[in-house]
Amino acid sequence: MLYISLQVIYVVLAVLIAPVLDSLERKIKAKIHSRIGPPILQTWYDLRKLFNKELVLSRAALPLVLIVLTMLGLCVLTLLAIPAGIPFAFFSGLDIPFLVVLIASIQGLIIAASVVSDNVYAVIGGFREFAIGIVNEVALITAVILIFVSTGLTSFAMLPEAAIRPSYIPVLVLLLTSAYVASGRIPFDIGEAEPELASGILIELSGPALGTALYSILMKRFVCASLSALALVLPLVRLLNPLASFAVFTALTTVMWIIHGIIAVLLGRSRVDIAAKALVLTYSILIISSTALVGVGL
């Protein structure tokens, strides 16, 4: 019962806190920029403003809104499937495969969103998302699977091994990198690169539709931060009591979000060819080394 409550608290927290974390990210970004920055609830204010506007749906916007809503649902499901630092499986039995499928679906939806519009900015933005998405999906899913293999987990209801194996380190790096890329921040936000594509696939949306899309992006970012936090907290789960472990996990999720935000401030936007090449190279090295290490049982 405690586990279920903690898991539900975590999801409710996520739904409420994601926009706050976004404001916090903007605030920290502003500090680095030598600006004052917005108040801590600014993103909520922005969303409220968007939801108060009239709903206008262009021809291309309707399928996009459906996709965005599905993504939102998938994100919530994913958050239920990610154990909140506790040995608990919400979808017992098939929890790990289910998580993998959910993550794959979220990435797949982003790709789908890119091809429903006939707006030229959106099409080009979509193909960029597609290029990065395909490369990153492979890495992210491999990383998630390897995490479980190298910690000896077959279900989240189990306690992971306490001792960290050497293979866990490349796996962790792979996961942290691909989770960052999946969060769609600079330098990998090329799909909505503002200067040339005027927000890419988002260009067709306005008002509540845009609000939903932005909110779903925030939820996706929360999922990415949670996955990173999960990978960091797994080796500790056995050592801590459930409440402490939950607290550490939640705190780590926040920290990961902030780290993601800071990395984004320090970098410039990449280009689709450069980004895809760089990612393929990095991921190949990481996937091969980590799979090899996990395979030989290190």
State the DSSP string of 243-292. HHHHHHHHHHHHHHHHHHHHHHHH-----HHHHHHHHHHHHHHHHHHHHH
The amino acid that residue 86 corresponds to is: I
Whether 260 and 183 have beta carbons less than 8 Å apart is answered as: yes
Q: Which is nearer to other proteins, 159 or 280 (CB)?
A: 280
Binding residues for other proteins, rule CB under 8 A, total 28
- Peptide bond preceding 187 in cis form (omega within 30 of 0): yes
Each residue 216-255 as x (binds other proteins by CB under 8 A) or -, in order, gives: ----------------------------------------
CB 8, min distance to other proteins, A: 38
| 193 is an interface residue for other proteins by CB under 8 A | yes
* CA–CA separation, 50 and 67 (whole Å): 19
Distances (CA, A) of 56 to 51, 61, 71, 209, 281: 12, 9, 20, 8, 43
Nearer to other proteins, 65 or 181 (CB): 181
- Determine, following the binding rule CB under 8 A, whether residue 184 of this chain makes contact with other proteins: no
Task: Give the DSSP per-residue string, 137-169.
Answer: HHHHHHHHHHHHHHHT-SSTTSPPPSSPPTTHH
Any contact of residue 187 with other proteins (CB under 8 A)? yes
Q: Distances from the Cα of 297 to the Cαs of 34, 165, 209, 288, in angstroms? A: 49, 9, 48, 14
Q: Which is nearer to other proteins, 121 or 249 (CB)?
A: 121
Nearest to 70 by CA among 99, 100, 108: 108
Among 2, 55, 120, 239, binds other proteins (CB under 8 A): 120
Please tell me whether residue 280 binds other proteins under the rule CB under 8 A: no
Q: Which of residues 160-179 bind other proteins (CB under 8 A)?
A: none
Nearer to other proteins, 1 or 36 (CB): 36
The answer to whether residue 27 forms part of the interface with other proteins (CB under 8 A) is no
Q: Which is nearer to other proteins, 34 or 241 (CB)?
A: 34
Identify which of residues 35 and 49 has a Cβ nearer to other proteins in the complex.
Answer: 35
**Considering only residues 58-117, where is the footprint of other proteins by CB under 8 A?**
none
CB of 9 to other proteins, least distance (A): 35
Answer for the pair 290, 146: CB distance below 8 angstroms, yes or no. yes
* 272 near other proteins, rule: CB under 8 A: yes
Q: Which stretch binds other proteins (CB under 8 A): 38-46, 53-61, 82-90, 120-128?
A: 120-128
Q: How far is residue 169 from each of residues 24, 66, 177, 290, measured CA to CA in Å?
A: 29, 39, 12, 8
274 scored as a contact of other proteins (CB under 8 A): yes
Does 277 bind other proteins (CB under 8 A)? Our answer is no
Confirm or reject binding of residue 198 to other proteins (CB under 8 A).
Answer: yes
Binding site for other proteins (CB under 8 A): 29, 32-35, 120-121, 123-124, 186-187, 189-190, 193-196, 198, 265-274
